[in-house]
Amino acid sequence: MPHSQNGTAYTLSGNAAGPTLVLIHGLGLTRDTWETHLPAFEPHYRVLNYDLYGHGDSVLAPETPSLQLFARQLHELMDELGITTAALVGFSLGGMINRRFAMDYPEQVWALGILNSPHERGPAAQQQVEARAAKTDSGGPGATLNSTIERWFTPSFRAKRDDVIQRIRSGVLANDPASYTQCRWVLAAGVLELIRPNPAIQQPTLVITCEHDSGSTPAMSHAIGAEINGARVIIVPELQHMGLVEQPAAFTQPLLDFLATIN
């Protein structure tokens, strides 16, 4: 597994002659999140898939995690690989990181895909998210994992695909407890720096979430889209937070269709 100079584990695959597509996973997960999506992306794009600091095979963060740090991690990786510009597709925390990246390094972004990513919460919802982060601080990645799995996957999927559920569960539990807690606070508090950015994000953007995603709601996705000129918003029916794992094509096909209109 290649590692960059900053300790980032990554794979570079797909169409070497195509434009670059970067995939950014969510909290507690790894680049394996995109395993079922790669066959759709690779014929068209040079795909950079990597692990965030403190996740998977990457090193722990060199400083307290923040959206700026994660954006810089990707900036350094792209520079090392000679990638001048890319479309960034981010899931959940990854959809916060790619927005931060577009704010910090706009010249390196030709499109954004923001999937199941949180935005401005009401006071009660913000308090609930911060309470979950505090519980993780005292109990580690497993402290809220059962309720997290219930929020992430539909009951029917949990009943039929225990193999996937156990793989996700094991992956989350494999995280360094201190690092996971710090990253969970980024997920909880980082949205505050993404609300109504000035200057606004200008890149062509597709925002997708699921009908029953309680943490990255349809209302949040519409709010994200309203703050980015010309952004498109798609709400996938019935699914919850991990819809991209339950029904990959419901995400890859709209992304492919959207990106094809730009390049």
pLDDT on residue 174: 94
d(CA 97, CA 154): 26
Query: Considering the entire predicted model, what is its pTM?
Result: 0.95
Residue in the block written with tokens 């360094």? 176
Cα three-residue angle 214-216-220, rounded to 5 degrees = 115
pLDDT on residue 203: 97
Residue ranges of the chain with pLDDT lower than 70?
137-139, 263
pLDDT tens-digit map of 215-230 = 999 999 999 999 999 9
Topology of domain 10-121+193-260, CATH: Rossmann fold (3.40.50)
pLDDT on residue 132: 78
Instruction: Return the domain boundaries, the chain.
Output: 10-121+193-260
pLDDT tens-digit map of 7-55 = 999 999 999 999 999 999 999 999 999 999 999 999 999 999 999 999 9
d(CA 210, CA 76): 32
User: Helical H runs in 53-114?
Assistant: 67-81, 93-104
pLDDT on residue 210: 98
pLDDT on residue 138: 65
**DSSP H or E segment with residue 209:** strand 205-210
pLDDT on residue 87: 98
Residue in the block written with tokens 């949990």? 158
